[in-house]
């Protein structure tokens, strides 16, 4: 049994000075019960908390640690860059080199702008799409998360063409009125929205593989259908590849599925663990970004030299070592196969969605293809399962509606340990 009294004490302290005791809501464990563990170090496949407990990590900082924690190739690049200063506020060679590398790897990117987070990237991409098209409205999908920008914190109304309503206090009704929401994987609903708002839609933004309602894969023809519709209507198609970019393949989900958007947003892996984001796309669209064009976007720390060094090392490694993706496919496939055996032995209802090194387990007997079907999952059972795994030294995402991320540091021996721990945790969760 794992005990964490120091983490408990830190969480109590944190609540006096940090809202909810955490700096990002999901970290608070509200969806699964219990209190968060405070981490002090990580290496390879493991994280270590303040109490000295070790966890097999299947979050990997929500994706970027694709080579495991503290990968030598990234650490060495950061250590080499640090003595030259942490920030300049002026251009550097590394910014040019990583831009060229991203352009060479991501099919949709002809020009790219570096920012500091995925949220900055998506907010900026939407602004540029509006400036390029001269239109105001956007379409997003239920359950797709694009950061905490006002335009994205909108939930759908009851009808397919109902205008959005604010999903968070502080988001204005005016912003909501310009954000239309459709069910994921539903081309007909998107067509209905476009027809009802003819000539007013600037952009359609989506995760090409959704990772924020749990992992949900695009139905056959869905991405291509959006591409065709956007071409017909002069709408900018934006793929949010903050999670999937450089993880599902060296060219992201767009390369994997063979559908090229007009713009892409990126993050996570391109910083190798450092705070970073980027957005890019067709030259004629990106030429609207200041100072080349009229759409303003800026950032003092954009292109930060330490983040650029980490990202350059990570992307170069992934480009030069395609076997990374072969290994991740095999490891992740073995983990899911083991989970399926466990769930079948225990007679539990389940759906497992996986693409490459991302997967989610839903405790439901229904296929999960959008947010409504994801919500049929037994979240109470998931909470018990999560805590059972935590007690066995396996750190899962503390929410049913998040994907898991596998790293190359996970060995076959660790796969077996994960499968065994999951069987015990599931058995215990069912009996509670």
For the chain, the structural domain boundaries read 5-70+322-431, 72-320
373: its two tokens: 């079907």
Q: pLDDT value at position 158?
A: 28
88: its two tokens: 């300049």
Q: Alpha-carbon distance 35 to 8, whole Å?
A: 7
| Predicted TM-score of the model (pTM) | 0.95
Q: Alpha-carbon distance 264 to 38, whole Å?
A: 33
Q: pLDDT value at position 167?
A: 62
Q: Alpha-carbon distance 210 to 9, whole Å?
A: 36
DSSP secondary structure letter of residue 285: H
Sheet strands (E) in 65-161: 111-115, 137-141, 154-155
Cβ pair 364, 375 in contact under 8 A: no
Q: Alpha-carbon distance 65 to 316, whole Å?
A: 15
**What's the CATH architecture for 5-70+322-431?**
Alpha-Beta Complex (3.90)
Q: pLDDT value at position 150?
A: 77
Q: pLDDT value at position 432?
A: 86
The radius of gyration computed from the CA coordinates of the chain, to the nearest angstrom, equals 21
DSSP secondary structure letter of residue 330: H
89 exposure class (CB count in 10 Å sphere: 0-12, 13-18, 19+): exposed
Please calculate the CA angle 296-108-229 and round it to the nearest 5 degrees.
Answer: 90
**Choices 2.60.40.420, 3.40.50.720, 3.90.950.10, 3.40.640.10: CATH for 72-320:** 3.40.640.10
Q: pLDDT value at position 166?
A: 57
Cβ pair 76, 248 in contact under 8 A: no
Q: pLDDT value at position 156?
A: 37
Q: Alpha-carbon distance 28 to 85, whole Å?
A: 34
Enumerate the active-site residues: 145, 240, 268
Closest CA to 160 of 185, 179, 188: 188
Q: pLDDT value at position 63?
A: 95
Q: pLDDT value at position 155?
A: 57
224 exposure class (CB count in 10 Å sphere: 0-12, 13-18, 19+): middle
Per-residue pLDDT of the chain (432 residues; tens, 9 = 90+): 788 999 999 999 999 999 999 998 889 999 899 999 999 999 999 999 999 999 999 999 999 999 999 999 999 999 999 999 999 999 999 999 999 999 999 999 999 999 999 999 999 999 999 999 999 999 999 989 898 887 787 753 323 333 444 566 787 777 778 999 999 999 999 999 999 999 999 999 999 999 999 999 999 999 999 999 999 999 999 999 999 999 999 999 999 999 999 999 999 999 999 999 999 999 999 999 999 999 999 999 999 999 999 999 999 999 999 999 999 999 999 999 999 999 999 999 999 999 999 999 999 999 999 999 999 999 999 999 999 999 999 999 999 999 999 999 999 999 999 999 999 999 999 998
């Amino acid at each position: 049994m794992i005990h964490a009294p120091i983490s408990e004490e830190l969480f109590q302290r944190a609540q006096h000075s940090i809202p909810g005791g955490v700096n990002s809501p999901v970290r608070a464990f509200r969806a699964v019960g219990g209190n968060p563990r405070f981490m002090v170090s990580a290496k390879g496949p493991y994280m270590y908390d303040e109490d000295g407990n070790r966890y097999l990590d299947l979050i990997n900082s929500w994706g970027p640690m694709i080579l495991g924690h503290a990968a030598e190739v990234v650490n060495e690049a950061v250590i080499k860059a640090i003595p030259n200063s942490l920030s300049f506020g002026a251009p550097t060679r590394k910014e040019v080199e990583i831009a060229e590398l991203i352009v060479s790897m991501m099919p949709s990117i002809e020009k790219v702008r570096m920012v500091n987070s995925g949220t900055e990237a998506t907010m900026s991409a939407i602004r540029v799409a509006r400036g390029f098209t001269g239109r105001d409205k956007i379409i997003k999908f239920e359950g797709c998360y694009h950061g905490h920008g006002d335009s994205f914190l909108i939930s759908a109304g009851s009808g397919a063409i109902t205008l959005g309503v604010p999903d968070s206090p502080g988001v204005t009704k005016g912003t909501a009125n310009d954000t239309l929401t459709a069910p994921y994987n539903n081309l007909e609903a998107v067509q209905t929205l476009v027809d009802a708002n003819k000539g007013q839609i600037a952009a359609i933004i989506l995760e090409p593989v959704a990772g924020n309602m749990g992992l949900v894969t695009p139905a056959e023809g869905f991405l291509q259908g959006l591409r065709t519709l956007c071409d017909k209507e002069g709408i900018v198609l934006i793929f949010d590849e903050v999670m999937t970019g450089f993880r599902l393949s060296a060219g992201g989900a767009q390369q994997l599925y063979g559908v090229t958007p007009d713009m892409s947003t990126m993050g996570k892996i391109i910083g190798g663990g450092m705070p970073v984001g980027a957005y890019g796309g067709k030259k004629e669209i990106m030429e609207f970004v200041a100072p080349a064009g009229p759409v303003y976007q800026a950032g003092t720390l954009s292109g930060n030299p330490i983040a650029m060094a980490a990202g350059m090392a990570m992307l170069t490694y992934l480009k030069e070592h395609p076997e990374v993706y072969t290994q991740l496919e095999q490891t992740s496939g073995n983990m899911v196969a083991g989970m399926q055996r466990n769930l079948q032995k225990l007679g539990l209802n389940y759906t497992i969605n996986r693409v490459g090194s991302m997967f989610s387990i839903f405790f439901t007997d229904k296929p999960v293809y959008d947010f409504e079907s994801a919500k049929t999952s037994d979240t109470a059972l998931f909470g018990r399962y999560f805590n059972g795994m935590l007690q066995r030294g396996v750190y899962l995402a503390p929410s049913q509606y998040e994907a898991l991320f596998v790293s190359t540091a996970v060995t076959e021996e660790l796969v077996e340990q994960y499968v065994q721990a999951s069987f015990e945790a599931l058995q215990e969760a069912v009996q509670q």
